[in-house]
Amino acid sequence: AQSVSQHNHHVILSEAASLELGCNYSYGGTVNLFWYVQYPGQHLQLLLKYFSGDPLVKGIKGFEAEFIKSKFSFNLRKPSVQWSDTAEYFCAVNARDTDKLIFGTGTRLQVFP
């Protein structure tokens, strides 16, 4: 069965610090990969996605993620976080032939000024 692991449940950073959130998945076939973000009181929205091509994907608000197929990983990065990045971040994966997403348990990021 497919699964998604997010290793960091709660991350606390100061503004300007660098961010890397881990995501690993288990699935033997071809996948699409996503990072979603949920800001406090807001709905879940797409941060970035990987379907094919360049494994380094750039998303909104300065976020990027790198797909490493050999490691089944899709880690999220940002070189310098801001207070407004405080949110919950979810990694998700689906098999190429389906729209059904499997989500990780989420990482809560708190950024202090």
Partner 1 sequence: DVKVTQSSRYLVKRTGEKVFLECVQDMDHENMFWYRQDPGLGLRLIYFSYDVKMKEKGDIPEGYSVSREKKERFSLILESASTNQTSMYLCASSQRGEQFFGPGTRLTVL
Sheet strands (E) in 2-101 = 3-5, 10-14, 19-21, 24-26, 31-38, 45-50, 56-58, 64-68, 73-78, 87-95
Of residues 17 and 49, the one with the C-beta less far from partner 1: 49
Least distance in angstroms from the C-beta of 22 to partner 1: 15
Of residues 28 and 41, the one with the C-beta less far from partner 1: 41
Contact, 108 vs 60, CB < 8 A? no
Q: Does 34 bind partner 1 (CB under 8 A)?
A: yes
Of residues 52 and 70, the one with the C-beta less far from partner 1: 52
Residue 51: phi and psi, rounded to 5, are -110, -45
Q: Does 53 bind partner 1 (CB under 8 A)?
A: no
Please give the structure tokens belonging to residue 21: 């959130």
Selected from 12, 14, 16, 46, the binder of partner 1 by CB under 8 A is 46
∠ CA 75-79-53, nearest 5°, is: 45
Binding residues vs partner 1 (CB under 8 A): 6, 9, 32, 34, 36, 42-46, 49, 51, 90, 94, 99-101, 103-106
